[in-house]
């Protein structure tokens, strides 16, 4: 866990190459489109570091319009565009593809096909920098990866590149590569064909999926498999697309993944993509969450939890199958829902395997890593690069730790599971911070708006004031929050949990009382 958060600080303060924005305020032309499905059919020229082919976009036009607007990097040259099988005019500039017609495109179901080719953006420092990685494994075989979380799918296919819209009916990916190489993708592998020394892999997911998860990897892979039985009794293929020379390590790795899956399901409900697969693919970069095909590049370097092998990277990225993929923020401003709740889920693995004390120690150590130089939620209509800073992980997860303490396990854990299983908050129904706040407030019967506001929208700490009023009397009160909170107070007679508000309570102790010794709050204690 320490390595994870050290990396996050590095991520948050690193310098990135200039890249197009992802998210922000939704353009009116794109608000008029509801994406239903993508078909991406491309040939990858590995020596030339180029791609060519087409993307077909199925969408619903809400109101008649003269313009359909898509995102696509300028490094890719658009050759032709068809709308409902008719050749149409277009312009492609500033990473935007304007598809136009003098006669309005009617409302309703519409199919746009874009033929294009070119050299996709190359990643400089993946996974923190986006683009294609063209490299080789240690035996000299070609190895290709894509990372896109910061820039979005437009790095290689035309799309509505905004977090508020995902293809409701999924994606088909038809990727052609030199014979002998293997393509790993999202969903299920429908077909593999070989012709003229080229192999074509047809991958399909029928689930909704975020744009940055619509990626593929190419390598000298073999597939190591086992069957996973979900908490609901469903049999799901668990597949690891691993480099052939690393195949002997894969079986043990999948055993570790299965343990993690059981813990995630305990707290968050059944694996979200049970009709498809649990997938891993070995990558030349460290890792990234990609729906049903998580990228893994930690080189089988294990830590231990309770004496058992543990891979922090796989645990974290796999958690995004619930937080980020199934439960998805509609605005990058609410990114903490992905990374903060996901990181809190990382600690729950330690709780299950090594106990409550080990779990609490994680947050006692991590509170000092909260930078607190900006709020976790920075407003509305935020671009990904602006929203992505270290505290969405560290402070976001600590907030969930605090929320658990405030509400108690009997309320907290069922509510977390409801957030991740109720159709109101999952799959096609994208959410924001206000939805999380309302859910927990309703479940607990407590107005939690003040607590959410302090932790997520400000850089304030909870101020706790301890004033000695007599030799053995102390007034303990809250200075800056308008709600009572439970707080552990340790005196000479032991530790008692008390409800404290701005008026405060008087306690008796022959020693100076210790406030919140186990660090359930991000706080400042003032003694007077």
- Report strand pairing: 294-296 vs 287-288: antiparallel
Residue ranges of the chain assigned to CATH 1.10.390.10: 322-457
Domain with CATH 2.60.40.1730 in the chain: 28-219
Task: Provide the CATH number for the domain formed by 462-527 in this structure.
Answer: 2.60.40.1910
Q: Are 322 and 304 in contact (CB under 8 A)?
A: no
Q: What is the pLDDT of residues 78-127, one digit of tens each?
A: 999 999 999 999 999 999 999 999 999 999 999 999 999 999 999 999 99
Secondary structure class of 34 (helix, strand, coil): strand
Separation of alpha carbons 52 and 177, rounded Å? 11
Q: Beginning with the edge strand found earlier in the chain, give each strand of the sheet holding 131-136 in spatial order.
A: 131-136, 142-147, 217-219, 182-184
Whole-structure pTM value = 0.95
Q: What is the CATH number of domain 28-219?
A: 2.60.40.1730
* Residue-level pLDDT at 21: 86
DSSP assignment string, 312-344: HHHHHHHHTTTBTTTB-BSSGGGTHHHHHHHHH
pLDDT at 369: 97
Low-confidence ranges of the chain (pLDDT < 70): 1-18
Ranges in the chain annotated CATH 2.60.40.1910: 462-527
So what CATH class is 322-457? mainly alpha
CA distances from 122 to 75, 107, 196, 258 (A): 11, 37, 28, 34
Give me the pLDDT at residue 18, please: 59
* DSSP bridge partners of 505: 476
For residue range 292-316, list pLDDT tens digits in order.
999 999 999 999 999 999 999 999 9
Question: Which of 497, 493, 492, 466 has its CA nearest to residue 479?
Answer: 466
């Amino acid at each position: 866990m320490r390595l994870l958060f050290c990396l996050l600080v590095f991520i948050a303060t690193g310098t990135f190459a200039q890249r197009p924005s992802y998210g922000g305020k939704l353009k009116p032309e794109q608000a008029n489109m509801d994406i239903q499905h993508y078909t991406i059919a491309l040939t990858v020229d590995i020596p030339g570091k180029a791609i060519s082919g087409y993307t077909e976009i199925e969408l619903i036009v809400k109101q008649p319009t003269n313009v359909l607007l898509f995102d696509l990097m300028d490094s890719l040259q658009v050759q032709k565009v068809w709308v409902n099988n008719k050749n149409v005019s277009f312009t492609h500039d500033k990473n935007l593809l304007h598809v136009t017609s003098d006669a309005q495109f009617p409302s309703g179901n519409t199919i746009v096909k874009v033929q294009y080719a070119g050299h996709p953006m190359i990643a400089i420092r993946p996974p923190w920098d986006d683009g294609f990685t063209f490299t080789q494994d240690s035996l000299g075989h070609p190895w290709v990866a894509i990372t896109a979380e910061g820039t979005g799918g437009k790095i290689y296919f035309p799309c509505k590149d905004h977090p508020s819209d995902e293809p409701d009916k999924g994606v088909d990916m038809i990727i052609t590569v030199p014979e002998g190489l293997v393509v790993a993708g999202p969903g299920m592998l429908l077909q593999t064909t070989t012709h003229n020394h080229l192999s074509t892999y047809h991958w399909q997911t029928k689930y909704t999926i975020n744009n940055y998860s619509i990626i593929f990897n190419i390598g000298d892979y073999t597939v190591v498999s086992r069957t996973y039985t979900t908490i609901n009794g469903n049999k799901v293929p668990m597949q690891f697309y691993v480099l052939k020379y690393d195949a002997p390590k894969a079986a043990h790795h999948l055993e570790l993944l299965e343990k993690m899956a059981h813990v995630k399901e305990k707290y968050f409900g059944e694996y979200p993509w049970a009709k498809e697969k649990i997938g891993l693919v070995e990558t030349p970069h460290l890792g990234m969450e990609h729906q049903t095909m998580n990228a893994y590049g930690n080189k089988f370097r294990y830590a231990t939890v309770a004496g058992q092998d543990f891979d922090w990277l796989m645990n974290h990225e796999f958690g995004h199958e619930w937080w980020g993929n199934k439960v998805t923020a509609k605005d990058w401003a609410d990114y903490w829902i992905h990374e903060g709740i996901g990181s809190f889920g990382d600690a729950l693995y330690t709780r299950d395997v090594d106990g409550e004390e080990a779990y609490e120690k994680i947050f006692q150590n991590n509170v000092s890593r909260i930078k607190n130089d900006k709020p976790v939620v920075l407003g509305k209509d935020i671009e990904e690069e602006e929203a992505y800073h270290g505290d969405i992980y560290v402070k976001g997860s600590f907030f969930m730790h605090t929320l658990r303490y405030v509400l108690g396990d009997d309320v907290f854990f069922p509510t977390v599971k409801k957030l991740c299983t109720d159709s109101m908050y999952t799959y096609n129904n994208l959410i924001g911070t206000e939805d999380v706040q309302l859910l927990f407030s309703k479940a607990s019967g407590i107005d939690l708006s003040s607590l959410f506001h302090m932790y997520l929208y400000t850089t304030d700490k909870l101020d706790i004031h301890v004033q000695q009023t007599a030799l053995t009397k102390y007034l303990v009160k809250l200075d800056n929050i308008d709600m009572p909170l439970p707080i552990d107070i340790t005196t000479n007679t032991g530790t008692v949990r008390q409800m404290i508000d701005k008026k405060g309570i008087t306690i008796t102790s022959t020693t100076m009382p210790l406030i919140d010794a186990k660090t359930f709050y991000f706080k400042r204690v003032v003694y007077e």
